[in-house]
Chains A and B, each alone.
Chain A
Amino acid sequence: MFEIKNITMIYNMEKTEKVYALGGFDLTLPDSGLIGIIGPSGSGKSTLMYCLSTLKKPTDGNIIYNGREITTLRDSEREVLRRNEFGFVFQRHFLVPYMSALDNVTVAAADNSGEAVEKAKRLLEGFGLGEREYKKRPAQLSGGQRQRAAIARAMINDPKVLFADEPTAALDHENAFAVMDVLKEYSKTGLVLVITHDRSILKHADRVIEMWDGNLSSERNGEAV
């Protein structure tokens, strides 16, 4: 699905002391599967995710998605790609404060029909948020419930690629594993990229990519982690 060649991302380009967030590496990612990306803070995990998801343009290198170079796409084309093919779970949940949990999920839906609402309810229930919870606003939910609502929002349109930046950071272990089970299930049909500090949640990952100082330091399967 993704073919990454010599991807380089340099911050502070105009300054003499440049910061290499991504140091120029190659990587290939399959059409489906649960891929974990781990590494310490500042290792370039999030930058890699943002480049793959077209939120950032790399300084150099190529990213081929389904045979199409995406680093040279126009803004509008990148928006269409993000809207139609990608799903996002960000570090901060970014739920809309005035909307109920259910509305927060359907706001990203392809349409606002009853079908989308039913699907959103199913997703939320799958994440342990019942009818009482999905009528609540984010401020009335616990940190874990908010994160689960954000994951449900990312999955509402059945994206081909689901980018998840620390999806379990706000969850206890029980909920974290429950979420990872859902992501694992989703990875049977689509590609799920999970960025995390927590190695334990990646035990069922198909591949784990470890990053260090903007480069790939190792790659193994989940059980090895």
Chain B
Amino acid sequence: MSQKLSTMKYIKNNKRRVAVPALSLCLCFVLTYITGFLLSTTEETFSSIYIDNAEKIQFVSLSDETLGVDTDLRFIMGESMDEVIKNRNEKVSELGRKLEEHEGVKSVYLAADLYAYVSPAIGTGSFIIPLVEKDEVEDVLNDFGTVVEEGRLPENPGEIVIDRSTIRNDGSELGGYYDYSDYKERYKIVGIIDSDLYFGCGIPAEGDSGIKSMIVFSDIKDMTAELKKENITVGSEDNVYDYVYGDKMIRTEIADAINNSTAYVYGGVLVILTILLTVVYTMYLRERHNEWCLYCSIGFSRTSIYLSIMRELLFTFVAALISGVVIAGALIYALDLVMIEPDGLKCSFFDIGSVIKILSAFVFLVGILQIPIRYALVKIRTVDAMEDDLY
């Protein structure tokens, strides 16, 4: 007689009984993955803003003190505000020229800054749209590796071009104004650029303060260290948005917050699932006690009974995983269609973190269920012992 007990006989004859736990597991897997996916839109969006952009372009805004501009003294000396700004910009320009000589630096522009905002599921991220001279706009776009794909280049003060995702997230449109509350009807969108990254460029609006900062196109990750080479020590009043800043921002401000909240959701789901599954599974094992006593009596070993139980269990889990992949895939596709893409957010369809969590839950649950299985196996007796109990 074969040592292997058929697994399919139970599954074939108990489709509903197998389907209920499989579906419950499937829904938990889907819930875990979708939660991870939705939260990943926040992480991916912020990562695109703070990391991906910073690998191409760095923003350096230094205070008067760092630049060595004594504003108070100049006021005393009777200089006008315009002269102060002009002198300040000259210092920035001079520093820019020096930086252009550094290895890895492609170009440096003096630019005013327009803050653009992107709001994913949690929080709001911001990036800087450099506002440069009219004849520099195309160069900036070229250095960023993009072109205008719809509309035209900015030609007049207050005109900008911007990527499609930022427009979608803001709810503005080509020909309209970049509608973030701080800039109501100040910056007109005259073009949409072809970019997977959040980016834009434009010409300062009328009445702009004229204070310039620097945008640096380079592959330098630590701009603070690079500035040090020019004897510039970045202080708390200065803003340097580079890869180091972005990486720190993502790790400490965003990833940690998201990971903490998902850990609670995931832990809660797992605890409830473990309790429910153990109770239901113990009842199920009890129901099949006589069947296994029969198998043991006619010569099947406890090992072969255990293996058949495990095959049934793994079948249930694998069925749950496969259905989970299909359902989660369909949900993600739908969410991307109605929420992610229209909102101009970034996402990762394959979230390795969630996959690891689901597979860990899979292993954990199979491990926990070994306790009732082990107990059920110990309780198996041959028919003679069962007959003895009757008398």
**Interface pair A83/B1, CB less than 8 Å apart:** yes
Stretch at the interface among B9-17, B72-80, B325-333: B9-17
Q: Mark B370-391, 1 if CB is under 8 A from A, else 0.
A: 0000000000001110010000
Q: Is A157 an interface residue (CB 8 A)?
A: yes
**Interface pair B1/A107, CB less than 8 Å apart:** no
**Interface pair B297/A108, CB less than 8 Å apart:** no
A192-222 with Cβ < 8 A to chain B? none
Among B5, B290, B291, B298, contact of A82 (Cβ-Cβ < 8 Å)? B298
Q: Is A55 an interface residue (CB 8 A)?
A: yes
Q: Is A22 an interface residue (CB 8 A)?
A: no
Q: Is A50 an interface residue (CB 8 A)?
A: yes
Q: Is A112 an interface residue (CB 8 A)?
A: yes
Q: Is B225 an interface residue (CB 8 A)?
A: no
Q: Mark B345-383, 1 if CB is under 8 A from A, else 0.
A: 000000000000000000000000000000000000011
Q: Is B301 an interface residue (CB 8 A)?
A: yes
Among B13, B290, B293, contact of A103 (Cβ-Cβ < 8 Å)? B13
- Contacts A79-B300, A103-B9, A157-B1 hold; do A94 and B294 have CB atoms under 8 A apart? yes
CB distance from A9 to the nearest CB of B (A): 11
Q: Mark B6-30, 1 if CB is under 8 A from A, else 0.
A: 1001100110000000000000000
**Interface pair B1/A108, CB less than 8 Å apart:** yes
Among A46, A56, A96, A109, contact of B1 (Cβ-Cβ < 8 Å)? A109
**Interface pair B384/A108, CB less than 8 Å apart:** no
**Interface pair A55/B1, CB less than 8 Å apart:** no
**Interface pair B300/A112, CB less than 8 Å apart:** no
A86-129 with Cβ < 8 A to chain B? 86, 88, 90-92, 94, 96-100, 103, 107-112
Q: Is B2 an interface residue (CB 8 A)?
A: yes
Q: Is A84 an interface residue (CB 8 A)?
A: yes
Q: Is A81 an interface residue (CB 8 A)?
A: yes
**Interface pair B297/A90, CB less than 8 Å apart:** yes
CB distance from B115 to the nearest CB of A (A): 66
CB-CB nearest in chain A for B291: A96
Q: Is B299 an interface residue (CB 8 A)?
A: yes
Q: Mark B237-268, 1 if CB is under 8 A from A, else 0.
A: 00000000000000000000000000000000
Q: Which residues of A are found within 8 Å of B3, using beta-carbon distances? A: 83
Among B291, B299, B383, contact of A83 (Cβ-Cβ < 8 Å)? B299
- Total interface residues on B, CB under 8 Å, equals 22
A47-98 with Cβ < 8 A to chain B? 50, 55-56, 75-76, 79-84, 86, 88, 90-92, 94, 96-98
Among A55, A98, A99, contact of B382 (Cβ-Cβ < 8 Å)? A55
CA–CA, A103 and B7, complex, Å: 12
CA–CA, A176 and B337, complex, Å: 70
**Interface pair A98/B297, CB less than 8 Å apart:** no
Q: Which residues of A are found within 8 Å of B6, using beta-carbon distances? A: 107, 112
CA–CA, A55 and B387, complex, Å: 12
- Contacts A111-B2, A157-B1 hold; do A84 and B299 have CB atoms under 8 A apart? yes
Which residues of A are in contact with B by a Cβ distance under 8 Å?
46, 50, 55-56, 75-76, 79-84, 86, 88, 90-92, 94, 96-100, 103, 107-112, 157
Can you list 17 A-B contacts with CB-CB less than 8 angstroms, sorted by A residue number? A50-B384, A55-B297, A55-B383, A80-B299, A82-B297, A82-B298, A83-B298, A88-B297, A88-B298, A90-B383, A90-B387, A91-B387, A94-B293, A94-B294, A94-B383, A107-B6, A108-B1
10 extra interface residue pairs, beta carbon distance < 8 Å, beyond A79-B299, A88-B297: A50-B384, A55-B382, A55-B383, A75-B301, A83-B300, A90-B297, A94-B383, A96-B291, A108-B1, A157-B1
7 closest cross-chain pairs (CB), A and B = A83-B299, A82-B299, A50-B384, A83-B1, A55-B384, A94-B294, A98-B13
